[in-house]
Amino acid sequence: MAAQYRFPDNFFWGAATSAHQIEGSPLADGAGPSHWHVFAQEPGRIANGDTAEIACDHYRRYGEDVELMRRMGLKAYRFSVAWGRVFPEGRGRLNQKGLDFYLKLVDALLDVGIEPFLTLYHWDLPAALETQGGWANRDCADWFADYAQTLYRALEGRVRYWTTLNEPWVVVHEGYVKGTHAPGKVSLREAPQATHNLLRGHALAVQAFRADGKGEIGLVVNLEPKYSASEERADREAANRAHVYMNQQYLDPVLLGSYPEEMAELFGSHWPQFPPEDLRLLREPFDFLGINYYSRSVNRAEPAEALTGAAPVRQAAEYTEMGWEVYPDGLREVLAWVKRRYGEIPLYVTENGAAFADPRPVGGRIDDPRRIDYLRTHLRAAHAAIAAGVDLRGYFAWSLLDNFEWSFGYSKRFGLVHVDPDTLVRTPKSSADFYREVIQSAGEVLQKD
The active-site residue out of 130, 167, 174, 224 is 167
**Nearer to ligand IFM (CB atom), residue 133 or residue 179:** 179
Assess contact for 20 and 122: CB atoms under 8 A: yes
Assess contact for 125 and 34: CB atoms under 8 A: yes
What is the pattern of x (binds ligand IFM, CB under 6 A) and - over residues 301-340? Answer: ----------------------------------------
Count of residues making up the chain: 449
Classify residue 334 as exposed, middle or buried by CB count within 10 Å of its CB (0-12, 13-18, 19+): buried
Q: Min. distance of Cβ 121 from ligand IFM in angstroms?
A: 12
Q: Min. distance of Cβ 405 from ligand IFM in angstroms?
A: 5
Q: Min. distance of Cβ 381 from ligand IFM in angstroms?
A: 18
**Nearer to ligand IFM (CB atom), residue 309 or residue 330:** 330
| 18 scored as a contact of ligand IFM (CB under 6 A) | yes
How many CB atoms lie under 10 A from the CB of residue 157? 7
| 167 scored as a contact of ligand IFM (CB under 6 A) | yes
> HSE (CB half, 13 Å, CA atoms) of 196?
25
Is beta strand 161-166 parallel, antiparallel or unpaired with respect to 216-222? parallel
Q: Min. distance of Cβ 398 from ligand IFM in angstroms?
A: 6
| 292 scored as a contact of ligand IFM (CB under 6 A) | yes
How many CB atoms lie under 10 A from the CB of residue 213? 21
Which amino acid would we find at residue 161? Y
**Nearer to ligand IFM (CB atom), residue 51 or residue 292:** 292
Name which of 73, 8, 4 is nearest 346 in CA terms: 8
**Nearer to ligand IFM (CB atom), residue 20 or residue 91:** 20
Q: Min. distance of Cβ 414 from ligand IFM in angstroms?
A: 6
| 23 scored as a contact of ligand IFM (CB under 6 A) | no
SS3 220: strand
Question: Nearest 5°: CA angle at 229, between 223 and 233?
Answer: 105
Q: Min. distance of Cβ 83 from ligand IFM in angstroms?
A: 15
Q: Min. distance of Cβ 252 from ligand IFM in angstroms?
A: 21
Residue 46: CB partners within 8 Å, gap ≥ 6? 40, 406, 407, 408, 409
| 249 scored as a contact of ligand IFM (CB under 6 A) | no
Q: Tell me the three-class secondary structure of 55-97, residue by residue.
A: CCCHHHHHHHHHHHHHHHCCCEEEEECCHHHHCCCCCCCCCHH
Assess contact for 128 and 86: CB atoms under 8 A: no
Task: Report 344-363 residues binding ligand IFM (CB under 6 A).
Answer: 351
| 293 scored as a contact of ligand IFM (CB under 6 A) | no
**Nearer to ligand IFM (CB atom), residue 168 or residue 428:** 168
**Nearer to ligand IFM (CB atom), residue 309 or residue 353:** 353
**Nearer to ligand IFM (CB atom), residue 62 or residue 398:** 398
How many CB atoms lie under 10 A from the CB of residue 54? 17
Number of residues binding to ligand IFM, judged by CB under 6 A: 7
Q: Min. distance of Cβ 349 from ligand IFM in angstroms?
A: 12
The active-site residue out of 23, 224, 262, 351 is 351
Q: What does the DSSP 8-state code read for residue 319?
A: B
Instruction: Pick the binder of ligand IFM from 23, 224, 373, 405 (CB under 6 A).
Output: 405
**Nearer to ligand IFM (CB atom), residue 159 or residue 291:** 291
**Cα–Cα distance, 199 to 238 (Å, whole number):** 26
Name which of 210, 220, 168, 158 is nearest 193 in CA terms: 168
Q: What Å distances lie between residue 299 and 218, 308, 316, CA to CA?
A: 30, 10, 14
Instruction: Based on the residue annotation, tell me whether 351 is a catalytic residue of this protein.
Output: yes
Instruction: Pick the binder of ligand IFM from 152, 162, 209, 398 (CB under 6 A).
Output: 398
Q: Which residues bind ligand IFM (CB under 6 A)?
A: 18, 21, 167, 292, 351, 398, 405
Residues designated catalytic: 167, 351
